[in-house]
Amino acid sequence: MSRKTERYPVKSANSLWHVYKTVPFLKVVKNFIVIQIARYTPILTLKNWMYRHLLRMKIGDETSVALMVMMDVMFPERIKIGSNSIIGYNTTILAHEYLIEEYRLGDVIIGDRVMIGANTTILPGVTIGDGAIVSAGTLVHKDVPANTFVGGNPMQMIQEIKKDEKS
Q: Is the distance from CB of 71 to CB of 96 less than 8 angstroms?
A: no
Residue-wise pLDDT for 138-161, tens only, equals: 999 999 999 999 999 999 999 999
At 117, the amino acid letter reads G
Q: What pLDDT score was predicted for residue 12?
A: 87
* Mean local confidence (pLDDT), 63-72: 98
**Is residue 167 predicted with pLDDT exceeding 80?**
no
Q: What pLDDT score was predicted for residue 70?
A: 98
Q: What pLDDT score was predicted for residue 165?
A: 57
Mean pLDDT, rounded, of the chain:
95
Q: 96 an active-site residue?
A: yes
Q: What pLDDT score was predicted for residue 140?
A: 97
Catalytic residue, chosen from 18, 53, 96, 141, is 96
Q: Which domains does the chain have, with CATH numbers?
A: 6-165 (2.160.10.10)
Residue 166 confidence class, pLDDT cut points 50, 70, 90: low
HEC sequence for the chain: CCCCCEEEECCCCCHHHHHHHHCCHHHHHHHHHHHHHHHHCCCHHHHHHHHHHHCCCEECCCCEECCCCEECCCCHHHEEECCCCEECCCCEECCEEECCCEEEECCEEECCCCEECCCCEECCCCEECCCCEECCCCEECCCECCCEEEECCCCEEEEECCHHHCC
* Mean local confidence (pLDDT), 45-72: 98
Residue-wise pLDDT for 21-39, tens only, equals: 899 999 999 999 999 999 9
Provide the whole-model pTM: 0.94
Q: What pLDDT score was predicted for residue 107?
A: 98
Residue-wise pLDDT for 121-132, tens only, equals: 999 999 999 999
* Mean local confidence (pLDDT), 1-24: 89
CA distance 77 to 22: 15
Residue 54 confidence class, pLDDT cut points 50, 70, 90: very high
